[in-house]
Amino acid sequence: MQRNATTRFPILLVHGLFGFDRVGPLELFHDVRQALCNAGARVFVPYVSATHSNEARGEQLLAQMDRVLEGTGAAKVNLIGHGQGALAARYAAALAPGSVASVTSVSGPNQGSELADFLRKALTPGRLPEHVANRVATLFADFISLLSGQAQLPQNAIAALAALTTEGVGAFNDRYPQGLPRHWGGNGPQLVNGVRYYSWSGTVQETAKQAGNSAPDPLHDFCRAFSEYFTTEAGQNDGIVGRFSSHLGKVIRSDYPMDHLDTLNQGADGGWRKGNDPMELYVKHAERLRIVGL
């Protein structure tokens, strides 16, 4: 059946921590962008720092939004942010609501990440471990930028980690509360300042067999290992972000059998879990946006 995801406004897919558009043949959003384009959507992947604060990445996103609006003649854009990309999208919508039709958070740490809390506490401020971690992470981010063939942007790994902790995102939410649920685990306001807010996410599967994957996959093994550092949302997280911490606006679903990388369609199995195709989620959502005139 021919799909129709011809949204009124172009879609920007915003990557999260350590993200990129393309490195050689590897595209971060894998076949997601192509699936959306095949269904009729105009899709762009803005280039923002792989590691930096939510506000710094949000400012970079605002600048690229202006270029897309100018180039396409569109009045607004639909922002779909994965991971920390959701926070950059929220920032852009808060500062320029007239230019944003919708914000969709995919596995976004909208209440912070318990994994980030653990990692931040493991780094002693002002001592060697923190400096080493910052240097290694920044070099890695610069390496990604170099391979992507695009101009390098500023990187700050420690600022990125601090921005993803419960405390860091809490301060961010105090300034930019649009779309946040009023009660833990609930839905948030779907329409704020003319911008529609949506979210979806998944939960890590305990074993490869339970995840519907018979082949070993180290990427998913990492997510399963990281999930052990969650206490508040133990068993209810995708390995990077807690299920209920991801809620924003209208929650489409937050317990897809997908880990954090699945919702990017990454991994040896292409992100498929028990019949859930991540590409299908993006196309369905674009159709949802089209139906409401966005």
Catalytic residues: 277
Angle 86-111-270 from CA coordinates, rounded to 5°? 50
The sign one gets for the Cα dihedral 200, 203, 205, 208 is positive
* DSSP code for 245: G
| DSSP class per residue in 129-194 | HHHHHHHHHHHHHHHHHHHHTS------HHHHHHHHSHHHHHHHHHH--TT--SSTTS---SEETT
Q: Which of 248, 230, 232 has the alpha carbon at shortest distance from 240? A: 230
**Residue type (1 letter), 52:** H
Give dist(CA 177, CA 87) in Å, integer.
Answer: 11
Q: What is the CA radius of gyration of the chain?
A: 18
Enumerate residues 6+ apart whose C-beta is below 8 A from 126. none
Torsion angle of C-alpha atoms 186, 87, 239, 134, degrees rounded to 10:
-150
Report whether 144 contacts 163 (CB < 8 A).
no
